[in-house]
């Protein structure tokens, strides 16, 4: 570990890595929503509260089985917990967009459903698990906005034409991740010579299966939580991405 380096030195080193990198890809994990004040659903206290409140655990509530068979409960949970606790935008999104504009960042892949990089201004974004901003009727494919889902006067938002529940285009538990997004993610990571892990770690549940396709030189971790595998990366900065990314250019 190179934990002895002062922040200024780390930023200088990281800037040099970015300057020398031909193709840089950022992976955004749960730390990117936690820094905006949103809790990770895997947090044990929160998981317990949800189970007390709804009588089911998050994995069940946030599942395709519930969406299909118990849509009232699914949408109550989805609107009250997932949409209401949308994270605040931080300095990370615009900082990523600035790096992309300067040619220092080529693709941003996020496992969060809040579309933070694109809302910050990034162009080449893969929302691996989909986005709360995309909603569609499963039958006629009509698109609906987030506001439509939020403000629908009844518990289950229905398609205006088909009168069936509108589907938020997000990956629910018990479903395969969209295969096109998976393929694109693998391709982008295999092209990269620098990988930025933002608010996530080498052993991430979501990303570890993709990180194995990385054939480049450097992995840089920017994450508040220390992880025992941080030493496997070229460098690790133990801080929130919002405190680090705006210092780069």
Using CB under 5 A, list all residues that contact Zn ion. 137, 139-140, 142, 159, 161-162
Dist. CA 183–CA 137, nearest whole Å:
25
Residue 239's Cα: distance from chain center in Å?
17
Measured from the CB of residue 135, what is the shortest distance to Zn ion in angstroms? 11
DSSP code, position 18: H
Q: Which residue number, 120 or 165, has a Cβ lying nearer to Zn ion? A: 165
Nearer to Zn ion, 83 or 158 (CB): 158
131's CB contacts (< 8 A; 6+ apart) are: 113, 114, 115, 118, 169, 170
Q: In what order do the strands lie in the sheet with 167-170?
A: 143-144, 130-136, 167-170
| Other C-beta atoms lying within 10 Å of the C-beta of residue 104 | 18
Q: Which is nearer to Zn ion, 161 or 249 (CB)?
A: 161
The nearest distance, CB 148 to Zn ion, in angstroms, is 12
Closest contact distance (angstroms) between CB of 157 and Zn ion is 11
What is the separation of C-alpha 162 from the centre of its chain, rounded to a whole number of angstroms? 31
Minimum CB distance to Zn ion smaller for 61 or for 159: 159
**Whole-number Å distance between alpha carbons of 18 and 41:** 32
Task: Supply the minimum distance, in Å, between the C-beta of residue 74 and Zn ion.
Answer: 18
Q: Give every strand in the sheet of 107-110, ordered side by side.
A: 125-127, 107-110, 24-28, 194-198, 218-222, 235-237
| Region of 199 on the Ramachandran plot (φ > 0 left; ψ -120 to 50 alpha; else beta) | left
Shortest gap between Cβ of 176 and Zn ion (angstroms)? 23
Q: Is 84 exposed, middle or buried (0-12, 13-18, 19+ CB in 10 A)?
A: exposed
Beta carbon of residue 144, minimum distance to Zn ion (angstroms, whole number): 9
Identify which of residues 66 and 144 has a Cβ nearer to Zn ion in the complex: 144
**Smallest gap, in angstroms, from Cβ of residue 103 to Zn ion?**
42
**Given the complex with Zn ion, which of 53 and 139 has the nearer CB atom?**
139
Q: Rank residues 15 and 136 by Cβ distance to Zn ion and give the closer one.
A: 136
Give me the residue whose beta carbon is nearest to Zn ion: 137
Task: Assign 27 to helix, strand or coil.
Answer: strand
């Amino acid at each position: 570990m190179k934990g002895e380096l002062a922040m200024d030195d780390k930023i200088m080193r990281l800037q040099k890595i970015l300057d020398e990198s031909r193709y840089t890809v950022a992976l955004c994990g749960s730390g990117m929503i936690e820094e905006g004040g949103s809790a990770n659903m895997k947090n044990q206290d929160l998981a317990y509260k949800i189970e007390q409140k709804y009588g089911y655990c998050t994995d069940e509530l946030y599942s395709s089985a519930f969406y299909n068979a118990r849509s009232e409960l699914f949408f109550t949970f989805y609107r009250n917990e997932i949409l209401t606790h949308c994270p605040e935008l931080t300095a990370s999104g615009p900082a990523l967009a600035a790096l992309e504009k300067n040619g220092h960042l080529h693709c941003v892949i996020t496992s969060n459903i809040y579309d933070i990089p694109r809302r910050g201004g990034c162009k080449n974004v893969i929302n691996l698990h989909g986005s709360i901003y995309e909603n569609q009727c499963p039958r006629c494919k009509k698109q609906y906005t987030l506001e439509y889902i939020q403000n629908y006067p009844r518990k289950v938002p229905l398609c205006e034409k088909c009168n069936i529940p509108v589907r938020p285009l997000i990956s629910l538990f018990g479903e395969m991740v969209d295969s096109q997004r998976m393929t694109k993610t693998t391709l982008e990571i295999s092209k990269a010579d620098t990988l930025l892990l933002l608010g996530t770690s080498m052993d991430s549940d979501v990303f570890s299966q993709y990180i194995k396709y990385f054939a480049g030189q450097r992995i840089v971790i920017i994450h508040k939580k220390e992880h025992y595998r941080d030493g496997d990366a070229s460098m690790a900065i133990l801080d929130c991405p919002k405190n680090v990314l705006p210092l780069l250019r």
